[in-house]
Structure 1
């Protein structure tokens, strides 16, 4: 078992955008047992402000090592101070796009990856960042997924959004819709199916039933409404099946999610994972079921990374009203995946 996958190691929670609700939902999380074994990588001052905004009575302590999370007393939020953050980060106004917050968020992510790859932590849970704040800071990545991919050496990755009822993996992510359609190729679809199949063993499904959604209305209706299903998607499914993967489709994207939804006993899902071609095709149905339980997982990385499925919520930042349910779900998912990695690394 490698150090990087040892479930006895702490989970890192990155602070996210200091002007959004990330620090506040983290502070709320640390008021319960859900944060046991977690340490925040961020700014001590920002986290102390978040503790005050969410009701006080929560000590915020700067720690020297990630493993100090296990020795922190109850109702204490341990913070590993990230290096190189803007000195005036606390001056960045809550609820506003600010380059200082974007720069700080990016530094926290980079340092978290370095720590987990160095064996200091079991995985990473990232609080929400703001894409415009990243851009204002000169960070060219459109989001976490692309940044993490680069920090991991450019390995193929895919975004999965999951809750208790649906798991959806995307072929394309943060692209304009015109560009996303161009990004749907045989290789991209097949690689997505392979990544989803390989990752599913981590949550206890070594042979998942994978439904592949089409791109066009009614999955193209035999070519009447577009031929991507015939030219690209169906051949990729056939190639995956030839490799022993239980993939099927392409299915009409407006109904496949209802078929896959797992809500027993009345509605056991027909599929374990749905592959969707574009960002909104896949994420709307998961988020409609409730963002409070949704988790974003980056598949294909050499380490575990999860995140809440919501954004920075600038409209309520600073009010102390932000709900930490999705962050708690992300921590639970990270622990499940870390345990799956550890089990698969153990000697037979």
Structure 2
């Protein structure tokens, strides 16, 4: 359900009001029943909570929300929209529990609500985000973040680190690994012959070395190595031109070198801010961690503490994430 102080609980309740998700999967929420009951209350939802301690106890029917209750939040002390160690710990425990259930084959896929990195670390869990938690607890070394919005797919070589550190991590081995993960991810999404474009790190992809050396020394050799094993890949190309070509259909996926290079174009398409209403009219797109032994899909937005408890947050991205997780689970069987 994500951080209990954010919008995760309320968008979860909203998602359960859609019959569509019950037609494509058997949904279970991992979190705290009292937090979700509070969300049901202020949303005036008709969803009924069924608290369970085992997946086998779930009752799947529209109108019922099965909650794998961790009972780890004191709602009397919980302050919506505020960073706290209690909320950060609750979010962490729900993620860790979900990972273990997936590894134990008790569930087919995990969909994560938004967590707050400061709260997570305040609780003593030193991870920079979901992706790193999943990598650690599944003992996976080669994984990557994939964002999807419509026909736009972007996978990242680096993510939650400083920009200065990201530049130092652009190495042939890592770029090559992510190109392979891009090819595998597209195939799992039903694309039989993926076309992959690779973005450069520097402006104009360095213009032959005028603005940097990473393209010549690290990225180009990685692209050549991927071609040798039969992957259909091109690049590196300038970041300001490769994404319009991705949108236009030249590629099925683009390999981005760092967090914002990939996130900005995807969120520009999937997010729509209404200045007059001071709210998001649309928040779509999903985040998939590829390379894991389990399926993990997430909403592509944060905890939105400024909206928490108001009932105005949209469940659009969560619905998209559930759809992708269900489709990937089906393709894996």
Q: TM-score range by the shorter chain?
A: over 0.9
Counterpart in the other structure of 1:137: 123
2:252 to 247, 272, 291: 272
CA distance in 2, matches of 1:62, 1:23: 15
Mark the CA change 1:90 to 1:167 in structure 2 (over 3 Å): closer, same or farther. Answer: farther
In the alignment, the residues of structure 1 paired with residue 194 and residue 107 of structure 2 have an alpha-carbon distance, to the nearest angstrom, of 29
Task: Select the residue among 6, 28, 33 that pairs with 1:44.
Answer: 33
Q: Deviations over 1:274-305 (max 9, x none)?
A: 00000000110000001422100000000110
Aligned with residue 321 of structure 2, among 327, 330, 334: 330
Residue in 2 aligned with 1:187?
173
Q: Who is 1:107 aligned against?
A: 93
Deviation at 1:56, TM superposition (A): 2.6
DSSP-derived class of the 1:57 partner: coil
Residue 321 of structure 1: SS of its match in structure 2? coil
2:265 and 2:76 map into 1 onto residues whose CA distance is 37
Look up the match of 2:64: 76
Number of positions where the alignment pairs a residue of Structure 1 with one of Structure 2: 319
Instruction: Report the secondary structure of 1:236's partner residue.
Output: helix
**2:204 matches 1:218:** yes
Give the match's secondary structure for 2:178.
helix
Contact 2:186 / 2:252 at 8 angstroms: preserved in 1? no
Determine the C-alpha separation between the residues in 1 that align with 2:168 and 2:101: 36
| Contact 1:92–1:101 (CA under 8 A) maintained in structure 2 | yes
CA contact (8 A) 1:260 1:270 kept: yes
Pick from 134, 145, 149: which aligns with 1:148? 134
CA contact (8 A) 1:123 1:305 kept: yes
CA distance in 2, matches of 1:285, 1:114: 34
Q: Distance in 2 between matches of 1:131 and 1:115?
A: 23
User: Could you list the per-position Cα deviations for residues 109-168 of structure 1 after superposition, in whole angstroms to 9, with x for gaps in the alignment?
Assistant: 111111111111000000000000001101100100001000001331100010113100
Cα separation, 2, equivalents of 1:114 and 1:242? 37
Residue number in structure 1 paired with 2:265: 285
TM-score computed with the length of structure 1 as normaliser: 0.89
Aligned mates of 2:194, 2:76 — CA distance in 1: 46
Give me the whole-angstrom Cα distance separating, in 1, the residues matched to 2:77 and 2:60: 29
Helix, strand or coil for the counterpart of 2:267?
helix
Task: Provide the rounded CA distance (Å) in 1 between the counterparts of 2:19 and 2:87.
Answer: 29
Match of 2:295 among 304, 324, 327: 304
